Amino acid sequence: MVTFVSVLKYEQLKVNKALEQELAAMPAPLRDIVGHVLMAGGKRLRPLLTLLSARLFGAEGPQLYELAVIPEMIHVATLLHDDVLDGAESRRGRKSAHLIYGTAPAILAGDALLAAASHKTASFNIPSLLTCVSEAVLMTAAGEAHEIALQGSLSHSLKEYVDIVAGKTGWLLKGSCRLGALYAGASEEQVEAISEYGLNLGIAFQIVDDALDFADEAVTGKPTAGDIMEGKYTPPIMKYVDFLSSGEREVFREKFRNGTFTDEDRVRIAADIRRLCFDAEARAMADQYIDKAQACLDALPRRFEQKVFREALDFVRNRKS
């Protein structure tokens, strides 16, 4: 863990420098709004995965940072669009871009970032990189659309939840790992192993995120149980709904469908979920995916980067916010 966090911190600085160069190359009418989100901090987890993967398979040199910015540009494009479509008011501690610059510029800025990421990818002259990147964008959008189509419904299965999560979060983490391995010229088996690692890491990351949604707001300072307000049917909610009597369940179903929970409901349900350990049980579900990811690493070169990839799994398992 010590290594992972210090590597993450160290690389953040270099990744941010590379991102600033990308920002400077953006067309003038979009530079401010793109910069508002692109340079607002963020863990830079996706670039780190690309860097580690490329180095694990023997690539090195400053050009790796040019590669590593690609998944972050895509990630920020999705953030810009997500904030518009969720009507979100803040992002990474700043007021949302669409509220400052307008909805239209926010949509266009996301489009431009997607295009800039493709352009950057094309500059490496390796067609497989582009297939990797465009698949990740396509599957991310599909995962989000799948989630929206099921919004407010309590009838879908855990399997469908995992499909959604694999799409909206897993595919870009998979793509981040895959990009580095393809660039480094890793063997097909190696590319697949690190891709699987990234996908499972991403699924685990999102499950933990969905469990953390029920954390005590007296501790975190953030509103709890936002997902029940947004009609997102996540594992802690699935367990909670199973636990309700059929009368209670009907009341819950109605409010979940129409997004009519009160703030009081929200805080009470979150407290119940914590008291009944449904958030902890959901985290235990994430462990299955962490174990799968772990297994993918076994066949890979025993280098420093492999150790950091292992620690990234502990980071996801243990994160508190």
Smallest distance from the beta carbon of 109 to a copy of itself, in angstroms?
7
Looking at the Cβ atoms of 141 and 267, the one nearer to a copy of itself is 141
Looking at the Cβ atoms of 102 and 223, the one nearer to a copy of itself is 102
Looking at the Cβ atoms of 50 and 78, the one nearer to a copy of itself is 78
Smallest distance from the beta carbon of 314 to a copy of itself, in angstroms?
32
Give the binding site for a copy of itself (CB under 8 A).
27-30, 77-78, 81, 84-86, 102-105, 107-112, 114-116, 118-119, 121-128, 130-131, 133-135, 137-139, 141-142, 144-146, 148-149
262: which residues sit within 8 A by CB, 6+ positions away? none
Q: What is the DSSP string of 35-85?
A: HHHHTS----HHHHHHHHHHHHTT--STHHHHHHHHHHHHHHHHHHHHHHH
Smallest distance from the beta carbon of 276 to a copy of itself, in angstroms?
32
Looking at the Cβ atoms of 114 and 228, the one nearer to a copy of itself is 114
Smallest distance from the beta carbon of 149 to a copy of itself, in angstroms?
5
Looking at the Cβ atoms of 29 and 223, the one nearer to a copy of itself is 29
Cβ-in-10-Å burial (0-12, 13-18, 19+) of 294 comes to middle
* Partners of residue 91 on adjacent β-strands: 94
Tokens 């996301």 sit on residue:
110
The answer to whether the CB of 172 falls within 8 A of the CB of 72 is no
Smallest distance from the beta carbon of 105 to a copy of itself, in angstroms?
6
Looking at the Cβ atoms of 11 and 163, the one nearer to a copy of itself is 163
Looking at the Cβ atoms of 18 and 80, the one nearer to a copy of itself is 80
Q: What are phi and psi of 90, to 5 degrees?
A: -145, 160
Cα torsion through 79, 80, 85, 90, rounded to 10: 80
The closest alpha carbon to 201, from 31, 4, 49, 41, belongs to 49
Smallest distance from the beta carbon of 120 to a copy of itself, in angstroms?
8
CA-CA distance, 311 to 75, in Å (whole number)?
Answer: 22
Looking at the Cβ atoms of 58 and 87, the one nearer to a copy of itself is 87
Smallest distance from the beta carbon of 111 to a copy of itself, in angstroms?
4
**Which helix (H) or strand (E) element contains residue 121?**
helix 103-122
The closest alpha carbon to 206, from 171, 179, 182, 238, belongs to 171
57 Cα distance to chain centroid: 24
Q: What is the DSSP string of 202-250?
A: HHHHHHHHHHHTTS-HHHHSS-S-HHHHTT---HHHHHHHHHS-HHHHH
Smallest distance from the beta carbon of 321 to a copy of itself, in angstroms?
26
